[in-house]
Chains A and B, each alone.
Chain A
Amino acid sequence: MADVLGAFEQSVLLAIVRLKDDAYGRAILKEVKLRLERDVAAGAVHATLVRLEERGLLTSRLGPGTDIRGGRARRFYRLEPAGRRALNDAREAIDNLWQGLKWPLKGHA
């Protein structure tokens, strides 16, 4: 397993996968909030995007802004093969952990 991803890193990478060509900062923030069903700080998403880009799991490019942003540019993110591998590994690890168990767990702990 080349890159071990945390749950929050997975949520950010999966948001990029879901958003396809529309994966820019604010859209990723909204998608992560929606999937995690909790409030998420923009700083947390931004720090994760920077870290994942430095690890080579994704790349970014600048795109045009819109009126509502006051014309400010948008940074679009794209998953790299290393990011796809890391997500697949993370999923495989979870599947291995749950192998042979029925979900949801029943009975008293």
Chain B
Amino acid sequence: MTTNGRPASSSEFAKPPRWAMAVLPLLLRSEEAETVTGDLIEEYRDTVYPASGALRADIWFIRQVAGFAWRTAAGWGLLLAAFISGRFLLDTFAPPASYFARSFFTTWSSVLLYLLAGAWAARKTGHARTGILAAVASHAIGWIVNAAITAAVFVGVIRQEPAMLTLFRETGGWGEQWFLPLMLLPFVLVLGSIGGVVGRSISGRARA
């Protein structure tokens, strides 16, 4: 049996997904990248691949890399979810006369958060590109958590209240929940890059 063109028995030469191998060092300090990557490859080739086959071994490796990414971005992602979901809950249950103040706060606090997430991650690892990864991962975590909260509130409350349902649709509805995160992605990439460069320079100065 072969998966990805590899025989299932050739574990000694099996290779995890290339993109995951490229991402992993960005989530680690330079002095740790070689040893941690070696540990994961050894476990992949020696235990997971022979026991589970190529596909499951690849999934295992990706899960490990995702675990490192989660540790880099979880705090920022959950903070972002608190901003977005907090705004959504306030707008739903206590709609203001003007949305300007709330919009101003959530927009600029999110901008600051992406910059800080990027800078913090890059400072920790010493790689500027980690800033982009951290900002994107925070963005994904924040919006996934927010989508879950929105769905729960929609099913539990909004759907049964015609006035709330109208307000939900008028303020963007599901389109805002699903498409806004995609539309914001280019800005997140830029902010993560800026944060990454700042964090890298702080890290470089601290090491010097």
Contact = CB atoms under 8 A, between A and B. Distances in A.
Interface of A: 24-26, 29-30, 41-44, 46-47, 50, 62, 65-70, 72-75
Contact of A73 (B12, B35, B40, B71): B35
B34 A43 contact: no
Interface residues of B, number: 21
B73 to A, nearest CB: 12
A13 B37 CA distance: 21
Given A42-B64, A43-B68, A43-B71, A69 B42 contact: yes
Interface of B: 12, 32, 34-43, 45-47, 63-64, 67-68, 70-71
Nearest to A69: B38
Nearest to A45: B39
A42 B67 contact: yes
Contacts of B46: 68
Contact of B67 (A30, A43, A69, A72): A43
Contact of A72 (B35, B64, B71): B35
A73 B39 CA distance: 9
B67 A25 contact: no
A62 B12 CA distance: 23
B71 A24 contact: no
Nearest to A67: B12
Contact of B34 (A44, A67, A73): A73
Given A41-B64, A42-B40, A43-B67, A72 B45 contact: no
Contact of A69 (B32, B41, B63, B64): B41
Given A29-B39, A75-B32, 8 more contacts: A26-B42, A41-B63, A42-B40, A43-B71, A46-B36, A69-B39, A70-B38, A74-B39
Nearest to B71: A43
B41 A70 contact: yes
A62 B33 CA distance: 12
Given A68-B12, A68-B45, A68-B46, A24 B39 contact: yes
Given A42-B67, A43-B67, A47-B71, A66 B42 contact: yes
Contacts of A43: 64, 67-68, 70-71
Contacts of B43: 26, 29-30, 42
A62 B35 contact: yes
Contacts of B37: 72
Nearest to A60: B35
A69 B37 CA distance: 8
Nearest to B61: A42
A25 B35 contact: yes
Contacts of A29: 39, 43
Contacts of B39: 24-26, 29, 42, 69, 74
Contacts of B68: 42-43, 46
12 contacts: A26-B39, A29-B43, A30-B47, A42-B36, A42-B68, A65-B38, A69-B38, A69-B41, A72-B35, A73-B35, A73-B38, A75-B35
